[in-house]
Structure 1
Amino acid sequence: MKKYGLIGFPLTHSFSKSYFAEKFRREGIVDCQYELYELPEIQALPAVLVNEPELVGLNVTIPYKQEVIPYLDRLDPACREIGAVNCIKITPLELIGFNTDYFGFKTSLSNWLGIERPGALILGTGGASRAVAQALKDLNISFLRISRSPNPDSGTTRSYEDLTASPQLLQEYPLIINTTPLGTYPNTADLPPIPLAGLGPEQWYYDLVYNPEETSLMREAARRGAKTKNGMEMLHLQAEAAWEIWNEVD
C-alpha cells in the first residue's frame, strides 16, 4: 500500500482527501491511500514519518510551507528560488521539497487572463504568495505585495492602510490576488480589508481560496462588476503535478 497525505493546521477546509479518493476511483488506481495529518506544530512531522512508513508523498498547506524546509534533505532548484514548499517526495534516502503551487497558479492565471497582463496586488506574504510572486515575474506582470505588517525596506510591500489611503492603486494594479486564508470555511465571513468602493468592472479578483467556491470578497467584487475566479482550478493543477512528482521514476 502506498500512502500519500496532507500536513497543515487546521485541515477542516481541505478538499485534498476527497480529490485523491475520487482520482483513485476514477482512474482505477489500487493500493493507494490519501490521509490528512493535522499537525498543531511542524515539530510533529518526524513522528508522522516514523509512524507511517508507507508514506511516499505529502502535500503541505498553511501554515507550514516555509516552516517545513529545515526538515527536508534538499529542494528542487525551482522550489529553492521560490522559498516555499507545498509538495514533498519521500524516498528511502531523502525528503525532497517541490512547489506545485507555482505551476498550478501560473497555468490557471494564464488560462483566465488570456493575453491580458494587468498589474497585480498580492494580498498576503505567506508561502503561497511566494509561488504567486514567482509566477507573476515569469509572466512579466508587475506587482505589489500587500501585508498587515509591511517591510519598510521592501519597495514592493505596502500595508492595507496604504491601500485604503491610496485607492488609485486598485486602478494601477487591477489584478487582485488573495493568497491569505481569509474567507476559508468555516470563517466564511472574513475578508481582506481592501477598499470595496474601489472595485469595479476593470478589476480582476483571483482568490486562492476554494472552499467556499465563492468567498465573501469574491461576492463583493462580482457585485461591483469585477471578474472573479477561485482557486479550484489551481488546486486540481497543483495536485496533478504533485502526483506526477511522487510517481516519476528516478
Structure 2
Amino acid sequence: MRKFGLIGHPLTHSFSKKYFTEKFEKEGIEDCEYELYDIPNAFELDEILNDDPEIEGINVTIPHKEDVIAWVDDLEEACEEIGAVNCIHIKDGIRTGYNTDYIGFKNSLSPWLGSVKPKALILGTGGASKAVKQALNDLEIDFLNVSRTEDEGQITYEDLDSDPEIMKTHHLIVNTTPLGTFPKIDGIPAIPLEQLTSYHFVYDLVYNPPVTALMQACLDKGGKAKNGHEMLILQAEAAWEIWNS
C-alpha cells in the first residue's frame, strides 16, 4: 500500500484528502491511501514517519510550512530560496522538501492577469506568502508585503490607511492569511475597503467559501476577484508528480 497524507493544525476542512481520494477512485488507483495528521507542532512529523515507513509523501499546510524545514533532510533548490515547504517526498528514508504552492499560484495567476502586470500587495507574512513572493518575482511583478507589525521590507495595514497612494498604485491584492475561511466567513484583512476600485484584482488564497468577504468587497466596486481553488488543484497535481517521479 502506498501511503500519503497531510500535516497541519487544525485540519477540520481538508481539500487534500477529498481531492486525492477522488483522484485515486477516478483513475482506478487501488493501492493508495491518503490520511490526515492533525498535529499542533511540526516536530511531530518525525514520529509519524518513524511509526509508518510506508508513507511516501506528505503535504504541509498552516502553520507548519516554515517550521517543518527543520525536519527534512534536503530541500529542492527553488524551495530553499522560498524558505517554506508544503510538499515532502520520502524515498529510501530521505525526506526532500518542495514548494508546490509556488507552482500552483504562479500558473493560476499569470493566465488570470493576462498581459496586465499591476503592482501587488501581499497580505500576510506566513509560509504561503513566501511562495507568492517568489512567483511575483519570477513574473516581474513589483510588490509590497503588508503585515500587522512593522518590520524591514514590509508595511503595515495602518500605512494603507494613512497613505491612499499605496492602494492607488497597487492594484493586485493577494491575501495569504486565513482570514475569511469557513466557518469564520466574516473575517477580512484590515485593508481600507473604501479604496478598492474597478481597477483592482483580489486573489484570495482562501477557497472556502468560494467568494470571501474580501473578494466580494472588490467585486462590489467593479473589480475582479479569484479564490485559491485552482491554485490548490495545481499544487496538488504538482505534488503527485513529485511523489511519482
Q: TM-score range by the shorter chain?
A: over 0.9
Q: Does 1:132 align with 2:129?
A: no
**Aligned-partner Cα distance in 1 for 2:124–2:181:** 14
What are the Cα deviations for residues 34-92 of structure 1, in whole angstroms up to 9, with x where unaligned?
11100011121111112222210000000100000011101000100000000000112
What are the Cα deviations for residues 136-186 of structure 1, in whole angstroms up to 9, with x where unaligned?
0100100000001121x32xx100000111122111110000001111112
Q: Does 1:86 align with 2:83?
A: no
Structure 1: segments with no counterpart, 5+ residues? none
Which amino acid is 1:159 matched to? T
In structure 1, the residue matched to 2:109 is 109
Which amino acid is 2:44 matched to? A
In structure 2, the residue matched to 1:211 is 208
Aligned residues, how many? 245
In structure 2, the residue matched to 1:149 is 149
Q: How does 1:1-250 map to 2 (within 5 A)?
A: 1-151=1-151, 153-154=152-153, 157-248=154-245
Q: SS at the partner of 2:129?
A: helix
- Determine what percentage of the aligned residue pairs are the same residue: 58
Q: SS at the partner of 1:42?
A: coil
Which amino acid is 1:136 matched to? L
Alpha carbon RMSD of aligned pairs, Å? 0.9
**Aligned-partner Cα distance in 2 for 1:11–1:65:** 14
What are the Cα deviations for residues 92-147 of structure 1, in whole angstroms up to 9, with x where unaligned?
23100000011100000001001110000000011100010000010010000000
**Aligned-partner Cα distance in 1 for 2:244–2:138:** 27
Structure 2: segments with no counterpart, 5+ residues? none
Which amino acid is 2:155 matched to? R
**Aligned-partner Cα distance in 2 for 1:132–1:174:** 16
